[in-house]
Amino acid sequence: MKKIILKITIFTIISSIFISCDMNDPNDGDFNVNPRSGWIQYQKDFVQGEVNARDSIFKIPFEINVPVNENGFVVSYNVEAIEGTAPESQIGSFTTTVAKEKEQSFITIPLVEDISENYTLKIQLTGVNDEDIKVGILGSNRPISFELDILCGVPENRYVDSTWNVNSTVCAGNGNGSCDPANSDIPLTSQVTLIAGDNPKEFELSDITGGLYEQLYGASDNPVTVTDDCNQLVVSNQPDVVFGGDEFNGTGSITLNDNGDLIEFEITWSNNFGDAGTSVFTPAD
């Protein structure tokens, strides 16, 4: 009986030692029991983001899995463009300081408002100036890379309800998608209203034809929705609501003053019938 009790006691003591060691390991077995050791990583459910370039900054949180962070430390990270062209000021190797006792910190990406295309950054954690703190854990699913899509932004007050004068050079279509040679290079002047959309990137024009439908065909104006895509105007598959069975497409550009106000825009447009033109819009006031 005494021998049996002794075996149980020894087994219990040994088990207690292993349990105690496991419970005191703050890093799930990846590090020793030093409470000042650990790792940093991005949040597993937050490894990709999207931001409007008109915002001033974007903050990317990362976790600090270090039970005792008594002195703080410095994190190194690298930023590269993996799609599109990013401003040079955003690309390179950088550092951020983690204050003591913090369990979470941020990498701050400063944004540049005036960009001409969307692009994607990859922000990778690369090192810590404390040898006891690692970046992620090799072979684990603890993320150390973050991808950020940066989109061209349009200020809410760029397109407001207003009236615009239009100077156009147009042609009447031949019915087969081309200009009628006998009715080409026709100068027209007209006036349109611009109505701001719910989306700052969109607005409606009361007429896309530069006056052609009203002045040459004796018909009504044809309104369309226009989209601002990185300061490039796009008219995409807008219906011909006057004659039906057709649609308008076009591209254009904008001109801003030093304050960022819209002072002129231009659209080259056409439909499948062959009507086409280039229209320049200037404020009526």
Contact 7, 22 (CB under 8 A): no
CATH number (2.40.128, 3.30.1890, 2.50.20, 1.20.1070) of 162-283 reads: 2.40.128
φ and ψ of 68, to 5 deg: -120, 100
Cα 156 from Cα 284, distance rounded (Å): 21
Kindly state the DSSP code that residue 89 receives in the 8-state scheme. G
Could you tell me the residue ranges of all domains in the chain? Answer: 29-151, 162-283
Cα 38 from Cα 264, distance rounded (Å): 57
Q: Return the higher-pLDDT residue of 14 and 104.
A: 104
Beta-sheet strands, E only, within 87-160:
92-98, 104-110, 119-128, 133-135, 145-151
Q: Is the per-residue pLDDT at 123 higher than 50?
A: yes
Q: What's the pLDDT at 5?
A: 38
Cα 109 from Cα 56, distance rounded (Å): 9
Q: What's the pLDDT at 28?
A: 53
Q: Is the per-residue pLDDT at 4 higher than 50?
A: no
Contact 213, 230 (CB under 8 A): no
Instruction: State CA 188 to chain mean position distance.
Output: 39
Residues 6+ apart with CB under 8 A from 93: 76, 77, 78, 79, 126
**Range name among 134-143, 183-192, 225-234 with the lowest pLDDT average:** 134-143
Question: What mean pLDDT is predicted for residues 18-30?
Answer: 45
Q: What value does the mean pLDDT of the chain take? A: 88
CB-count exposure of residue 249 (10 Å: 0-12, 13-18, 19+): middle
31-49: pLDDT as tens digits: 557 899 999 999 888 999 9
Kindly state the DSSP code that residue 178 receives in the 8-state scheme. S
Place of tokens 């077995």: 29
Q: What's this model's pTM, rounded to 2 decimal places?
A: 0.69
49-100: pLDDT as tens digits: 999 888 889 999 999 999 999 999 999 999 999 999 999 999 999 999 999 9
Cα 91 from Cα 78, distance rounded (Å): 8
**Which candidate, 23, 24, 20, 26, places its Cα nearest to that of 103?**
26
Q: What's the pLDDT at 44?
A: 87
For the 29-151 domain, the top CATH level (class) is mainly beta
Q: What's the pLDDT at 30?
A: 56
